[in-house]
Structure 1
Amino acid sequence: MGTGSARRIRQAGESDRATLVRLLDAAFMNDPVSCWVFPEEAHRRKVHSLFLGVFADVALAEGRVDIMEDETAMALWLQVPAGLPEEEDDTPALMRRTADPENERAEMIGRLTGAVHPHDRAHEYLLMIAVDPEHQGRGLGRALIEPVLERCDREGIPAYLEASSERSSHLYERLGFAFTGTAVDLPDGPRMWPMWREPAAG
């Protein structure tokens, strides 16, 4: 692979939160799922960063955030253990409460994706990846993901994600991910593609 070695990547911390939220907000402002959660553009521009800030906080507290040193792209990762969680995930409710309490879709998206998330094996979960719109199409996302997938291959660990568009699902297929066969169809909205990647045999 080797793409990641050509670009400098570091691990982000709490001091980077504002940068992470800015990247997420810009990258997903016109994403089909964001547009479904917040259909009115003016309202979306007001609350979108609050909504996505919850994802950044979860990854900073419980996972890992990789960011390009020039702050053009970042990836949020969580290590998910095998087995169903002992407690209900309160993140979907927090997303709604933080960003848009009257909007049930702000919670529904987390509930629907959580319902199909596999729990039979421990895996790396690519929660979100964001590339600044002015830098998209330059391989930055791939450069961020490949080092993690190389480690997954070495350690025999699967990986998982939800693609928010058919186009992005094809990009992930090139990295070894495959559609699980169970889509997330948002009511009156777009489809999401849960995707699983088996570690490559050594």
Structure 2
Amino acid sequence: MDVEIRQAGESDREALVRLLDEAFMDDPVSSWVFPDREHRRRVHGTFLGVFLDVALREGRVDVTEDGSAAALWLQVPAGPPEEDDTPVRMRETADPDNERAELSGRLTGEVHPHDRAHEYLLLIAVSPERQGEGLGTALIEPVLERCDRDGVPAYLEASSARSSKLYERLGFAFTGRTVDLPDGPHMWPMWREPLA
């Protein structure tokens, strides 16, 4: 599939927040964090905007030229993680009275591996009307090719069993321990060793 991809910048923020909001509106984790759909409609984009701001500032955001899909990446160094206030910012920015807005980030942080430097696929979003066209794969493959060339592993958390199967086709493997959101869905941490 021939997909034009570019690196996003701050000027893309508003369009990317809309894309993330739309793509994850019915995601199992988003639905758990914000169970009331009307409330989710009001705060969801703000919540996901925190992830976007981190990726724009500290990582990279790849976006298809038509804006229908985007991947948020961070380079994670080896060693003990620095203090991360992202879960707190997620809650304070989007929904201060909702502890789930912070808890989801804390629970994923607890299982995130730090023994080796790696590329972290923080989020990948495809506009609902374009899902199933291979845009997500087109966004991920160039980064995985670079990982293979440089000998760098990659990591992500799949938010559904369906998406975990898609990532398996790209060489990711379940780490063996799910993130279990209280009275909610599971997330599947997945690791990919670089191919020789």
Give the TM-score range, shorter chain: over 0.9
1:22 correspondence with 2:18: yes
Task: Please give the alpha-carbon distance, in whole angstroms, between the structure 2 residues aligned to 1:38 and 1:65.
Answer: 25
Task: Please give the alpha-carbon distance, in whole angstroms, between the structure 2 residues aligned to 1:118 and 1:78.
Answer: 13
1:44 correspondence with 2:40: yes
Name the residue aligned to 1:143: 138
Deviation at 1:19, TM superposition (A): 1.0
Residues 90-147 of structure 1 deviation map (CA, whole Å, 9 limit, x = unaligned): 0000000000000000000000000000000000000000000010000000000000
Which segments of 5 or more consecutive residues in structure 1 lack a partner in the other structure?
none
Task: Please give the alpha-carbon distance, in whole angstroms, between the structure 1 residues aligned to 2:15 and 2:99.
Answer: 27
Task: Please give the alpha-carbon distance, in whole angstroms, between the structure 1 residues aligned to 2:21 and 2:70.
Answer: 12
1:169 correspondence with 2:150: no
Name the residue aligned to 1:119: 114
RMSD: 0.5
Counterpart code for 1:49: G
Task: Please give the alpha-carbon distance, in whole angstroms, between the structure 1 residues aligned to 2:120 and 2:43.
Answer: 25
Counterpart code for 2:176: G
Task: Please give the alpha-carbon distance, in whole angstroms, between the structure 2 residues aligned to 1:7 and 1:49.
Answer: 26
Counterpart code for 1:118: P
How many residues matched?
196
Deviation at 1:174, TM superposition (A): 0.1
- TM-score in terms of structure 2 length: 0.99
Runs of 4+ with deviation above 6 angstroms? none
Task: Please give the alpha-carbon distance, in whole angstroms, between the structure 2 residues aligned to 1:20 and 1:182.
Answer: 31
Which segments of 5 or more consecutive residues in structure 2 lack a partner in the other structure?
none
Deviation at 1:88, TM superposition (A): 1.6
Name the residue aligned to 1:62: 58
